[in-house]
Amino acid sequence: MRRLDYTPVIKESFLEKLARSYEMQTLYTHKILPFKNKEKFSYIQLVFLNLLEKYHQLFIDVSLNEEGTEEGMEEDPLRVEAYFLWRNKKFKKLQKEQQPKFDDNKDEKLYKVVFE
């Protein structure tokens, strides 16, 4: 009897492979765009630039040994997506904790300002 493996598989697109390549990451790090145009980017160019930034941030996080990262994880698109979802959730939680809390029941003094 054959055992079925239900591990989800995400296929990496050509743009993702290109964006995480050493050559493209080197160009991106040195702020050299791989396009002839320097403004008014097409949709596919914007997607590619977004992927370049995503993998650039991942490589930085891995090199700094951030929580949830390890060497070689960029090879698995499922782990990359899971890491960025977790990182985004963690960032939003941190933002929410740092927002000032206002208590409606608190007796606040109101000052009246008169302009003359």
* Distance, CA of 50 to CA of 42 (rounded, Å): 12
What mean pLDDT is reported for the chain?
83
Whether residue 83 lies inside any domain: the answer is: yes
Whether residue 51 lies inside any domain: the answer is: yes
Whether residue 7 lies inside any domain: the answer is: no
Whether residue 102 lies inside any domain: the answer is: no
Whether residue 39 lies inside any domain: the answer is: yes
Tokens of 91: 């960032």
* Cβ atoms < 10 Å from Cβ of 60: 12
Whether residue 89 lies inside any domain: the answer is: yes
| Cα 54 → chain centroid | 5
Range(s) of the domain holding residue 65: 14-94
Kindly state the average pLDDT of the residues 100-104.
Answer: 62
The per-residue DSSP string of 6-70 comes to: -----PPPHHHHHHTSHHHHHHHHTT--SSS-SSS--HHHHHHHHHHHHHHHHHHHHHTT-TT--
Q: What is the pTM of this model?
A: 0.69
Kindly state the average pLDDT of the residues 16-22.
Answer: 91
Q: Is there a contact between 16 and 51 (Cβ–Cβ < 8 Å)?
A: yes
Number of compact structural domains in the chain: 1
Kindly state the average pLDDT of the residues 5-32.
Answer: 85
Whether residue 87 lies inside any domain: the answer is: yes
pLDDT tops 70 at residue 84: yes
pLDDT tops 80 at residue 91: yes
| Cα radius of gyration (the chain) | 23
Q: What is the pLDDT of residue 102?
A: 61
- Residue 109 pLDDT class (50, 70, 90 cuts): low
* Distance, CA of 11 to CA of 15 (rounded, Å): 11
Q: What is the pLDDT of residue 89?
A: 92
Whether residue 31 lies inside any domain: the answer is: yes
